[in-house]
Amino acid sequence: MHKTAIPNGIFLGVAMMICSYVIYMVNPDKFFQARPLLLLCIIFLIFLKTGLEAKAANGQYISFGQGFKNMFVTGAIGIFLCVFFEYFLVNYLKTDLIEIKQAMELESIELTREVLNGKMEEAMDIAEEQIENGVTISFNSYLQQFLTKLFMPVAAVAALIALIIKRTPPHSKDGIANTNKDPENRYVINKDREE
């Protein structure tokens, strides 16, 4: 793992926290709607920065696994900071977001009911009850959110960028990586004596 993965993760987390707070200050009603796309753009840019730094440190060569690992660590740290910032923001600092989140989730359930046309009514009732009881703003809910976000967007975006930036060193005839760019006859000192 390249040494910039952890600092980039902290930078990612701070950038996402600042972006989240700015969105709240500009328009609290759009906090849960506008934020995901903006945070995804930040994740993409910081992942690209992390991957390219790791690639430069390896002489412009990086495997898919190395790139993915560096970006995944960066993303895990950033998402951890952002999710728990959101938990404290919603539950302790700006509690008006609880009502906005519950209203948005209830609206989502109603739309789902319309699409399903009466099917899975019990599941919809249970979900509605959980929202009204505040289960979706609990610590466990945010922990589950963190684990879910490790797969999408973190793992998905890391895999995409790792595929884009990967570059393996050229291989020699025997299949071993040859990073020596010297010509094959460099060490022949006196070719005339051999003849």
For the chain, the structural domain boundaries read 5-95+138-168
Distance CA 161, CA 96 (A): 37
Q: Which stretches in the chain have pLDDT values below 50?
A: 172-176, 182-183
Query: So what's the pLDDT on residue 133?
Result: 78
Query: So what's the pLDDT on residue 66?
Result: 93
pTM above 0.85, yes or no: no
Query: So what's the pLDDT on residue 193?
Result: 56
Neighbour count for residue 172 (Cβ, 10 Å) = 12
Query: So what's the pLDDT on residue 175?
Result: 45
Contact 36, 104 (CB under 8 A): no
Q: HSE, CB side, 13 Å, CA atoms: give it for residue 133.
A: 8
The DSSP H or E segment spanning 77 is: helix 64-88
Query: So what's the pLDDT on residue 124?
Result: 78
Give tens-digit pLDDT for 131-167.
777 766 788 888 999 999 999 999 999 999 999 999 8
Specify the DSSP class assigned to residue 182.
Answer: S
- In terms of residues, how long is the chain? 195
Query: So what's the pLDDT on residue 174?
Result: 44
